[in-house]
A and B are shown apart, each in its own frame.
Chain A
Amino acid sequence: MIVVVLGIATINFFLLHLAPGDAAQVLAGEAGSATPEYIATLRAQFGLDRPLWSQFLSYLGNVLTFDLGWSFRHGMSVGRLILDRLPATLLLMGASVGFAALAGSALGALAGRRAGSLADTAVSTVALLFYATPTFWVGLVLTVIFSVWLDWLPVGGMTTIGAGFSGAAYALDVAHHLVLPAATLGLFYVAVYARLMRASVIDVQGRDYVRTAVAKGLRSHRILRRHVLRNALLPVVTMLGVQIGSVLGGAVLVETVFSWPGLGRLAFEALFQRDLNLLLGVLLCSSVVVVVVNLVVDLAYAALDPRIEVA
């Protein structure tokens, strides 16, 4: 784990230092005009006038002591900036993956039980269509339909600003804002889960013990629940772990379209502002999320399949 963290810090530190221009220059550029003295002042303040190896060593030292450093751009500690945005990201991630896994599995099970039927083809085709359509395009179109035309859902953001909701009303408000971004991000993955589930169901249905169950005269939905679904869930759960990194990346697009205040957008902006500490912090944090989710997946796996023990 430590090796992974150090590796990520190293790769990104040097990649970003390849980038022309630095944070002081970005600030000066945004200011409209600046004197060389002003830029030098900023640079000294950000520690950008020190040699690269010295910046790198002090950065690594900080990371190892769980100090992600200071964002000069935001005038805040990176840790706090990330903690502020992390809940929004986890919520979006959880909701979209949850939506994709549930909807995908349901559709996949349906298709798998009637493999080769018209329903099967229809489900597979629709799911694939969403998979093949660029995410941001889906997002823009959903906004137009559900926010502008039908006026059911807000255009973007995470809360109704200044409404002063609390408790259940607040949760409902956030949920209301969450629907479109989560659906947009989730629709991309529905196809994945649908196809996975469909394949699993077909596979398991052909196994001997299921045939035995059928021969014993068990009712079909019971077979489905007891034997087929339980086994078919395993690859679905595995996929959750594999995909989490890709979901975090895809969130950049969705956060942009829906003004969702998450980590993806924060990283994207940090990149263009050369806010190195912040960007490294977000990347490290994303990696930690990926690792933790995979750990949870391992545990869930063990729970679903008693034959596997958690290593």
Chain B
Amino acid sequence: MARHFGVGSRLARGDGHGGSAIAQTLRFASVALYAWSFLRFAAGAAVIAALLLIATRVSAAEPKAGGTVTAIIQPEPVVLTSALNSAAPTGTVSGNIFDGLVDYDFDLKPRPALATSWETSADGKAITFHLRPGVTWHDGTPFTSADVKWTLENVWKKIHPRNQLTFAKVTEVETPDDLTVVLKLSQPSVAILSSVNSNGAQVLPKHLYEGTDVLNNPYNNKPVGTGPFVFKEWKKGEYIALERNPNYWDKPKPYLDRLIFRVIPDAAARAAAFEKGEVQYGVLSPVPLKDAKRLAELPTLKVETKGYEWLSPFLFIDLNVDNPQLKDVRVRRAIAHAIDKAALARIVWFGFGEPASSPVPSTLKAFHDPAAPAYAFDTKQAEALLDEAGFPRGAGGVRFTLNHDYIPYGDDYKRSAEFIKQALKRVGVEVNVRTQDVPTYTKRVYGDRDSDVALTWFAAFSDPQVGVTRVYNSASIGKNIPWTNGSGYRNPEVDALISSVQGEADPEKRVADFRKLQQIVLTDLPTIPLVELKFFTVHAAGLKDAVTTGDQVYGSLKNAWFETAPAQN
């Protein structure tokens, strides 16, 4: 079963938002490097690389209209509006119903969507969006600047879990006319422009939400958006059906007539459904990794690792610095030396990942510091450090025992934990792996701080400000806020750097700050980066242009079309 603990999917959580570097990217023009580095890494696994090349070749043929895509959604979403819940499955469905102000290309540059253009004032304290004329909500009401203003003031700043921070510096929203929105800021806020796609900042229809209890508004479950597909039906536990929006602004898109998301809890069953052609699209690594390699060799299917650039996920362990052994930095370094990250990526992740050296993944070329302290796989060094720290091997060759909790998102994470257990056993550290469900895990790591070694993954996002700094920010320690500082690491210098990057408008200064941050945290090592994960999308070979944006995982299938319609089951 899916298994899995938790609700059975390897990815129950959204994590896909956050602030980021789009604004920077604009100023830097270092954008192309993203794609370049991505390709370089993909080359690590031959099979994947080959696929990538085939799949990314832009189809030259003329798109054909018609057809139904049956996609996989797992686990089943809670609501269908990302404005209220940024979980992954919600984002995947919702991205087809709601357009964002922008979407992001593979280089993470914003492209016009509901906003046709935007500009930041010279002092960085005002951002203006010019909205697309003639866009209507699915119920026919025109889409205007009032919708954006209302959503920002009432949803993003009040309810949305992450945007409360991202939009914290917005003091006022002006709407000089129906198609212009001006955000007035107390301080420059670089992160905003990297977070205004359909997932990061979803605009809700003011006329259906104003004056209601937003969290319990019935339209959360039957959303009315502006996007390429219109919500039709949600049969709980079975499927969510969307239909083509005939009045979509980007004519002749969308090409598909219908889009159906099916709930399939078991990973092996998902693979079988792909194989049989019952489903044609699934994001966030919908089948077991080993099956992905098998499916990739079938002529009917494609496995694609693009479309996750906006996430840049990485796997790491938090070491509890309050633990009597782990509070010694030598022990933490010994653990880093004891784990063969390359083998972890190759064996446990079947090549769908690369060894990570820094909490800022190498995919974020501008911010990643290749010169930060590294810890090569070296068990002798690890043993020497442990001896030096005063933990000699005792009875049965055991130095001490640690509890290891892993994020219960599926077997890959469990196997990673088992791998770490064996790796540490080799240097005399006994590891007790603990299985639990998600609420227990987050409470244990982020609330009770009752874990010694905790395995998890975070999305770094295109700007480490949101994705990476939360790992080290001491403000959240022990507050029971999921996916924050799990190691208990407190360093005033790091906290100062984190607050500095938030209000800093100078891109070079921010990069310098981020590099300094990496130097410090990789020296102190409260967390050990393990693997830069590569999530993948599986889609039918006949479904063309299924992956066209860097945030495709939460984007829409408006560009997708069938070369050959699938046999309807």
Chain A interface residues toward B at CB < 8 A: 19-22, 25-39, 41, 45, 73-76, 81, 84-85, 88, 136, 140, 143-144, 147-148, 151, 154-163, 253, 255-259, 261-262, 265-266, 269, 271-274
Contacts and interface: CB of A to CB of B under 8 A. Distances in A.
Interface in B522-542: none
Interface string B250-289: 0000000010101111101100110110100000000000
B161 A257 contact: no
A270 B483 CA distance: 22
A26 B408 CA distance: 13
Contacts of B444: 20
B78 interface: yes
B483 A20 contact: no
B1 A161 contact: no
Given A39-B481, A75-B216, A259-B265, A30 B443 contact: no
Given A26-B439, A31-B14, A34-B161, A266 B482 contact: no
A81 to B, nearest CB: 7
Given A75-B79, A151-B276, A265-B237, A29 B159 contact: no
A75 to B, nearest CB: 6
Nearest to A259: B264
Contacts of B221: 75-76
A167 B325 CA distance: 68
Given A155-B273, A259-B265, A273 B85 contact: no
Q: Of residues A25, A33, A151, A265, which shows the largest number of chain B Cβ atoms within 10 Å of its Cβ?
A: A33
B215 interface: yes
A32 B483 contact: yes
A148 B275 contact: yes
Q: Of residues A21, A154, A269, which shows the largest number of chain B Cβ atoms within 10 Å of its Cβ?
A: A21
B258 A162 contact: yes
Interface in B106-151: none
Contacts of B262: 157, 161, 259
A142 B263 CA distance: 20
Contact of B238 (A32, A143, A148, A157): A157
Contacts of B258: 162
Interface of B: 1-3, 5-8, 12-18, 68, 70, 75-76, 78-79, 85-88, 159, 161-162, 164-165, 215-216, 220-221, 235-239, 241, 258, 260, 262-266, 268-269, 272-273, 275-276, 278, 436-440, 442-444, 448, 459, 470, 479-484, 568-569
Nearest to A23: B439
A269 B276 contact: no
A143 B6 contact: no
B241 A161 contact: yes
B238 A257 contact: no
Given A85-B237, A162-B260, A256-B1, A32 B14 contact: yes
A126 B7 CA distance: 35
Given A32-B18, A38-B159, A160-B569, 7 more contacts: A26-B439, A32-B16, A76-B221, A143-B268, A161-B238, A258-B266, A271-B437
29 contacts: A25-B439, A26-B438, A28-B161, A29-B482, A30-B13, A30-B78, A32-B16, A32-B161, A33-B484, A38-B161, A75-B216, A75-B220, A76-B221, A84-B236, A140-B268, A144-B272, A155-B269, A157-B239, A256-B1, A257-B1, A257-B268, A258-B266, A259-B262, A259-B264, A259-B269, A261-B238, A261-B263, A262-B237, A271-B437
A156 B6 contact: no
A37 B481 CA distance: 10
Given A38-B164, A256-B2, A29 B264 contact: no
A37 B159 CA distance: 9
Contact of B70 (A34, A73, A161, A272): A161
A163 B3 CA distance: 29
A33 B440 contact: no
Q: Of residues A20, A36, A73, A155, which shows the largest number of chain B Cβ atoms within 10 Å of its Cβ?
A: A155
A153 to B, nearest CB: 10
B439 A21 contact: yes
B20 to A, nearest CB: 13
Contacts of A20: 436, 439-440, 443-444, 448
A29 B68 CA distance: 33
B266 A257 contact: yes
Contacts of A88: 237
Nearest to A151: B276
A158 to B, nearest CB: 6
A39 to B, nearest CB: 7
A20 B273 CA distance: 36
A88 B568 CA distance: 23
A38 B481 CA distance: 10
Contacts of A255: 265
A136 B236 contact: no
Contact of B269 (A19, A33, A257): A257
A269 B85 contact: no
Contacts of A36: 479-481
A144 to B, nearest CB: 7
A35 B236 contact: no
B2 to A, nearest CB: 6
A218 to B, nearest CB: 52
A36 B402 CA distance: 29
Nearest to A24: B439
A257 B568 CA distance: 22
List 6 tightest A-B contacts by C-beta distance, closest first. Answer: A21-B439, A261-B237, A29-B482, A32-B15, A34-B161, A30-B87
A76 B273 CA distance: 30
A34 B439 contact: no
Contacts of B161: 28, 31-35, 38
A170 to B, nearest CB: 14
Contacts of B479: 36
B50 to A, nearest CB: 25
Nearest to B84: A31
A269 B275 CA distance: 27
B241 A162 contact: yes
Given A27-B78, A156-B273, A21 B443 contact: yes
B265 to A, nearest CB: 5
A32 B17 contact: yes
A34 B17 CA distance: 12
A147 B271 CA distance: 12
Nearest to B243: A162
A271 B437 CA distance: 9
A157 B70 CA distance: 13
A253 B85 CA distance: 29
B269 to A, nearest CB: 5
Contact of A155 (B68, B278, B438): B278
B87 A31 contact: yes
B78 A74 contact: yes
A32 B258 CA distance: 29
A88 to B, nearest CB: 8
A262 to B, nearest CB: 8
Contacts of B480: 25, 36, 39
Contacts of A163: 568
Given A45-B215, A148-B275, A31 B86 contact: yes
Contact of A25 (B2, B236, B436, B482): B482
Contacts of A265: 237, 265
B313 to A, nearest CB: 11
Q: Of residues A34, A88, A140, which shows the largest number of chain B Cβ atoms within 10 Å of its Cβ?
A: A34
Given A156-B269, A157-B262, A257-B266, A272 B236 contact: no
Given A27-B85, A32-B161, A75-B221, A19 B439 contact: yes
